[in-house]
Amino acid sequence: MTQLRKMMLDELERRNYSQNTVRAYIQTIQDLARYFKRPPNQLNPEQIRAYQAYLFRERKLDASSVTQRTAALRFFFLVTLKKRWSLADIPYPRKVRRLPKVISPEQVVKLIDSAGNAFNQVLLMTLYGTGLRRAEVARLQIGDIDRERMVIHVRGGKGRKDRDVMLSPKLLLELDQYLDGLRQRPATWLFPGNRWHTSERPVTVNVIWNACRDAALRAGLGTEIHPHTLRHAFATHLYEGGTDLRTIQILLGHQDLEKTALYLHLSTRHLRATCSPLDQVTLASKPPKGK
């Protein structure tokens, strides 16, 4: 381990960053060093901005991906190396707000029914039935299933925050059948890395991503469906079913209600129920027909 890597890891761990964030930040700095073929502590702000342009121009990354990498760059240079640069020296890209894709309940059923095997099917049901992020599903433990209170405990979600989400009776039945079907019941992880034998590691997020992608292709839903699509569907369908935004915010683990308000825009039922101001006015007369 290089001294620079150790310094950055120490600063990340002191601030209790999640393992996913630590991994992403380290990978970004490694990629930066490979791009310039020199130690990253020898680079200046002009080169950092050139690297950001490269991410857009050549790597074809979207604004959110470049924003995540920019956060890693800021942490390394301003926090780890304590460079006296201004934040403007490592600017965040301008946000491009696009509404995420939401699938209908019928399409959700089609997606789940198209899972390649029982393991993938229960993964997809858990994503949709709880609204959890794929990393949160991957790290669920058997002890997180609270049958008495009918909730699932989410340990160390985004921002290292714990929360509870509902446990659907239908999902509980599927989970019981899934566990009964394993050759050996796992000791810790609900979805172990090797589902046929006891595994000390949980399933990877890539396995969950591939399970969703493969099911979407089989269902004919295209390549834009991913695990977060089921999280969006969970929230949108709850809102359309009458659940208030504050409850949805708690279930999703959003810190800011404004982020949850996105589902107002995604709900077609909400949009259809909103009258246009044109419907509230009466026109005096119609103009004569002309050429």
Active site residue 5: no
Query: Of 69, 74, 133, 139, which one is the catalytic site residue?
Result: 133
Query: Of 153, 228, 265, 270, which one is the catalytic site residue?
Result: 228
Decide the pairing of beta strands 151-154 and 163-166.
Answer: antiparallel
Active site residue 232: no
Query: Of 231, 232, 237, 239, which one is the catalytic site residue?
Result: 231
Round to whole Å and give the CA distance between 67 and 85.
18
Which of 175, 172, 133, 127 shows the shortest CA–CA distance to 156? Answer: 133
Which of 182, 207, 181, 208 shows the shortest CA–CA distance to 196? Answer: 182
Length of the chain: 291
Active site residue 231: yes
Query: Of 49, 110, 158, 163, which one is the catalytic site residue?
Result: 158
Query: Of 195, 232, 237, 254, which one is the catalytic site residue?
Result: 254
Q: How far apart are the first and last CA of the chain?
A: 79
Tokens for 33?
């060093």
Active site residue 228: yes
Active site residue 263: yes
Give the residues across from 141 on adjacent strands: 189
Query: Do the beta carbons of residue 190 and residue 145 sit within 8 Å?
Result: yes
Active site residue 133: yes
The residues carrying an active-site annotation are 133, 158, 228, 231, 254, 263
